[in-house]
Structure 1
């Protein structure tokens, strides 16, 4: 598998505080990788750097565009998203006063190619494109069993369904990489089990790379092919789930002792 994202010596400083220190990682096409670590380890800061929410102090981030790895340094979040990177957040960020369908349609605006004049004067091609995108949105909702809720306001959905919608909205952007920031946060065991099945379904059906931050270790160990471990802003370990489970440095970081 080809490398789709390559990060070298990433550093982020906030004043005198170094939140991320010399972090390097890479993602392959069509793999599911987890980024874990104790609270305050710098996981979300790394996500924010990779998706352009904040800019790095130093280091390089490169993303595969066709045959080449291009630099994402100094690119804005919308530019990175347009290249094929979608994300969710720890706190759900749906448009609460819009319907389920409209939340997905908003994410698909990058698929309108009609241009300014055709959009203003509403040429026939504009309506054809609009119908195609509406069908795609409905089909996507049906795949994830959200079609029955498509006309409900997002604010009226149960918490677990809101989480699912946020992930589906990310998929609607047709990303190459999907960044999931603590998707199981606040979920009960039944909702977490549903989420695990959902992420597996995404991986199998859409063949995209997934980078996952998560504190639920059973979910991580069940899903991830590889795991990166951060501690105090530094990369502590990298390996398969079984290797991470047996890593003494990781055990010490989580438990405060070696066994």
Structure 2
């Protein structure tokens, strides 16, 4: 069954149409990629799907309790609670918190403690804290970051900050994870580590992933299906091999040179 269903999504900013009549779908545990040149509307689509922006028209539906439920008009925190999480082009961490605390912050929306237990520090409060700590450390261990748990996020290397942002998103227990250019600014070794990390996420968590990325070697090595945007419009959809040989994609995305799609 479809996990995410997007139909005729459109977003206008004044006289500019940033996204025009885009329809796409994501199935359970599927990894798809959204590619296109700069300014094609990829991040705008992420913002529309996750509630950061409101569509001008069209519908976004997510599977909730085996039924597709409309997300239109729902606030960001509600959409996150329903099982969608994301990272951003520009890393957004709590730089003055430790690595561990960054992950634990992502878990707070799933806790059931009431205000009285938090104010009076009841036994259930400490049980919850212990449970969150253990879960956060387990997550950091999966990302090979447990030794950095007590470091400030601001002191991490760039690639580690990227991994931490993904770990924090996973701490919300999503069923659909959006990764917005996770390899941006990475060197080849960091990109290779990221590729392995994304593979690990799918194997370990059995969740769907939607990936925006300009690194075509990463996209072609991970995605099962690819959607291609140009000027806010969807111009192609298919498997990596189909996209590599699509003449319209080569023209629009690479100006007639297909070397970067290899």
Band of TM-score, shorter chain? over 0.9
Task: Provide the residue aligned with 2:240 in structure 1.
Answer: 241
Task: Provide the residue aligned with 1:172 in structure 2.
Answer: 171
- Whether the 8 Å CA contact 1:37–1:229 is kept in 2: the answer is yes
- Whether the 8 Å CA contact 1:32–1:209 is kept in 2: the answer is yes
**Aligned-residue offset at 1:9:** 0.1
> 1:235, 1:180 → 2: CA distance?
19
> 1:48, 1:228 → 2: CA distance?
17
Give 1:22-61 correspondences, 5 Å limit: 22-61=21-60
Q: Cα deviations across residues 139-162 of structure 1 (Å, max 9, x unaligned)?
A: 110111100000001111100000
Q: Secondary structure at the match of 1:132?
A: helix
Deviates more, 1:115-124 or 1:29-38: 115-124
Task: Provide the residue aligned with 2:206 in structure 1.
Answer: 207
**Aligned-residue offset at 1:26:** 0.4
Task: Provide the residue aligned with 1:182 in structure 2.
Answer: 181
- TM-score (normalizing by structure 2): 0.97
Q: Secondary structure at the match of 2:19?
A: strand
Task: Provide the residue aligned with 2:158 in structure 1.
Answer: 159
CA RMSD of aligned residues (A): 1.0
Aligned residues: 258
List gaps (5 residues or longer) in structure 2: none
- TM-score (normalizing by structure 1): 0.98
Kindly indicate whether residue 122 of structure 2 is the aligned counterpart of residue 123 of structure 1.
Answer: yes
**Aligned-residue offset at 1:255:** 2.5
> 2:110, 2:254 → 1: CA distance?
47
Could you list the runs of 4 or more consecutive aligned residues of structure 1 that deviate by over 6 angstroms after TM superposition? none
> 1:139, 1:104 → 2: CA distance?
11
> 1:114, 1:76 → 2: CA distance?
22
**Aligned-residue offset at 1:77:** 1.0
> 1:256, 1:142 → 2: CA distance?
43
> 2:34, 2:232 → 1: CA distance?
12
List gaps (5 residues or longer) in structure 1: none
- Whether the 8 Å CA contact 1:248–1:258 is kept in 2: the answer is no
> 1:236, 1:250 → 2: CA distance?
7
Task: Provide the residue aligned with 1:97 in structure 2.
Answer: 96
Q: Cα deviations across residues 106-135 of structure 1 (Å, max 9, x unaligned)?
A: 100012102222222222112111111111
Q: Cα deviations across residues 216-252 of structure 1 (Å, max 9, x unaligned)?
A: 0000000001000011000010000000000011001
**Aligned-residue offset at 1:258:** 7.6
> 1:151, 1:141 → 2: CA distance?
11
> 2:16, 2:110 → 1: CA distance?
40
**Aligned-residue offset at 1:19:** 0.3
Q: Cα deviations across residues 173-227 of structure 1 (Å, max 9, x unaligned)?
A: 1001000000000000000000000000001111000000000000000000100
